[in-house]
Homo-oligomer: A and B are copies of this chain.
Amino acid sequence: MKIRDGRLKKPLSKSFEHLNSSIGFDIRLAKYDIAGSIAYAKALKRVGIITDKEMKSIINGLETIQLEIENGKFVPNPENEDIHMNIEMRLLELVGTVALKLHTGRSRNEQIVLDERLYLIDALKNIKSNLKNLLKSLYLKAKDSRKIIMPSYTHLQQAQLISASHLLLAYYRAIYRDHQRLLDIEKRLNEMPLGSGAVAGSSIGIDREFLLKELGFISLTKNSIDAVSNRDFIIEFEFILTSIFLTLSRISEDFIIYSTQEFGFIILPDELTTTSSLMPQKKNPDSLELIRGKSTKIIGNLFSIITLLKALPYSYNRDLQEDKPGLFESIDWVLVCIDVMREIIDGFSFNDSRIKEVIKGSKDYIFATDIADYLVQRGMPFREAHQIVGKIVSFSESNKKRLSEIKIEEYKKFSPLFDKDIYKVFDPVKSVNNHDVYGGTAINRIDEILNEIEEELKNI
């Protein structure tokens, strides 16, 4: 028995059947579809469409199917198109014609939206949990790395010295914001669509408040056309996944660069690297590259769904079937990649001696702003100090001297404000601690933030 048989005289063409069938991917919605149907059966009883006995029989059947799915015994039939019809047809086999009453006043248009919302509410929990673990790892690693001093970079050029914690805490902040975005979307996911019918609203006076409570939602959708047409909660969800992946990709990029031989700032654990099939010396940061690469899939999926919705007329159109494969794929990968990133954060170590070497190799240019600050403290306008230090750097370059090797007489030629104490600026710890402002890299400021984060992590 197929729903098309009453109205249409021919079966689907083979190619179209292949295009038409969604059971290959929407099977993962089974448990939500069943939960929705159990609640709906109860609601049908309340409105008198089915008897108590019929309700129990239907619920029994649905619970059996749920078990079959959990045990891997449920074999979906591609001819039954989608998850809804597959479950309905199996229910028919299990409980007989009473199954045919379950769809009364209900449309797949609302069912699929219900399933997607329930699925996303679950997915959101899992992603939040993985993000929290990553945040913890960043916090712990930052706590351990307070005293490691490394260059920061702008334009990928050495800029100023920072505590290594400071960089990890920058990553923390970006991840934390994405965690907050997930909180913001929750209210938009938590609207119960059942009772919307195909488009105009239920015609059997189903009790929507009852369904809301049964299914644990917070509010009701307020317009049945909107309920079946709207996918903006999916788009927004995929946007947040993209935002997460952008941060992961940026951390990956940093770490790929830091683990080159030329930088050598960090050492990745063996279990997160690979070697080459041809070059036996290689220790490649594949885990980072794969996260960086995978981010593009998530971006592509976001743009698919955006393009899908662009100029799609109201209300439900079959194009919307295509909203799921990309969503599922993106969620799967975000969970895996947050996890791999957490393992990377847990497992990598800073190569402190190599970092010190690099700082030494910087010819002290990394202290240039410290020198400018020195002049400003002695009353020179900043822009003038900036110009003078620029010239000192140029001089150092031509004369192949480190800044700390330039003699005091030479310094004085650039400005009479220079005095012997200038050489005190070439102290990494002092340089770091100069940035003594809320959110700055001075160690006491990092401790201040670490304390805040300790509280923050308790509340998420």
Closest B residue to A84 by CB, please name it.
B277
Question: Would A198 and B101 be within 8 Å (CB), given that A254-B313, A304-B297, A343-B13 are in contact?
Answer: no
- Could you tell me if B200 and A253 are in contact, using CB atoms closer than 8 angstroms? no
Which residues of the other chain, B, contact A177 by a CB distance below 8 angstroms?
Answer: 188, 232
Q: Is A310 an interface residue when CB atoms closer than 8 A count as contact?
A: yes
Q: Which B residues are in CB contact (< 8 Å) with A280?
A: 6-7, 368-369, 372, 385-390, 393
Copies of the chain in the assembly: 4
> Could you say which of A174, A262, A382 has the most chain B C-beta atoms within 10 Å of its C-beta?
A262
Q: Is A437 interfacial (CB-CB < 8 Å)?
A: yes
CB of A154 to closest CB in B, whole Å? 4
* Interface stretch of the complex, out of A29-37, A163-171, A404-412: A163-171
Most buried by B among A178, A203, A235, A337: A203
Interface string of A133-159 (1 = CB under 8 A from B): 000000000000000000011111111
Chain B, Cβ-Cβ closest to A185: B184
A242 in complex: contacting residue of B97, B167, B306, CB < 8 Å:
B306
Set of chain B residues within 8 Å of A4, measured between Cβ atoms: 274-275
* Across-interface contacts of A229 in B (CB, < 8 A): 170, 250
Inter-chain contact B294/A322, CB cutoff 8 Å: yes
B311 A295 Cβ-Cβ under 8 A: yes
**Do the beta carbons of A198 and B279 come within 8 Å of each other?**
yes
Which residues on the B side are within 8 Å of A9 (C-beta)?
270, 394
B300 with A20: CB separation less than 8 A: no
Q: B246, A232: Cβ atoms under 8 Å? A: yes
Is A161 positioned at the interface, with any CB of B under 8 Å from its CB? yes
Is A290 part of the binding interface, using a Cβ–Cβ cutoff of 8 Å? Answer: yes
Q: Which of B250, B312, B361 is close to A309, meaning CB atoms less than 8 Å apart?
A: B250
Is A312 touching B250 in the complex (CB atoms < 8 A)? yes
Does the CB pair B261–A154 fall under 8 Å? no
Decide if A440 touches B195 in the complex (CB within 8 Å): yes
Q: Is the CB of A296 within 8 A of B310?
A: yes
Q: Which of A60-68, A71-79, A105-113, A118-126 contacts B (4 or more CB under 8 A)?
A: A105-113
Distance A417 CA – B311 CA, assembled complex (angstroms): 43
- A371 closest partner in B (C-beta): B280
Q: Is the CB of A104 within 8 A of B376?
A: yes
Q: B residues within 8 A CB of A309?
A: 246, 250
Partner of A387, one of B5, B202, B227, B315: B5
Judging by beta carbons under 8 Å apart, are A303 and B299 in contact?
A: yes
Contact indicator A278/B173 (Cβ below 8 Å): no
Quick check: A441 and B224 within 8 Å, CB to CB? yes
Contact B386 A222 (CB under 8 A): no
Q: Are A8 and B275 in contact (CB under 8 A)?
A: yes
The CA-CA distance from A449 to B326 in the complex, in Å, is: 34
A425 nearest CB across to chain B (Å): 11
Q: Which residues of B contact A250 (CB under 8 A)?
A: 229, 309-314
* Residue pair B381, A440 in contact (C-beta under 8 Å): no
A206: contacting residue among B10, B180, B437, CB under 8 A: B437
Asked if A452 meets B222 with Cβ closer than 8 Å, knowing A15-B340, A304-B297, A312-B250, the reply is: yes
CB distance from A394 to the nearest CB of B (A): 6
A346 and chain B: residue at smallest CB distance? B13
Q: Does A292 contact B (CB under 8 A)?
A: yes
Q: Does A225 contact B (CB under 8 A)?
A: yes
If A250-B314, A277-B84, A369-B279 touch, whether A287 touches B16 (CB-CB below 8 Å) is yes
Chain A residues 417-436 with CB under 8 Å of chain B are: 432, 434-436
B299 near A98 with CB under 8 A, answer: no
What is the distance, in angstroms, from A445's C-beta to the closest C-beta of chain B?
7
A262-B358, A440-B201 known; A277-B307 Cβ under 8 A:
no
Set of chain B residues within 8 Å of A356, measured between Cβ atoms: none
Sample of 5 A–B contacts (CB below 8 Å): A105-B278, A203-B436, A221-B439, A246-B310, A281-B366
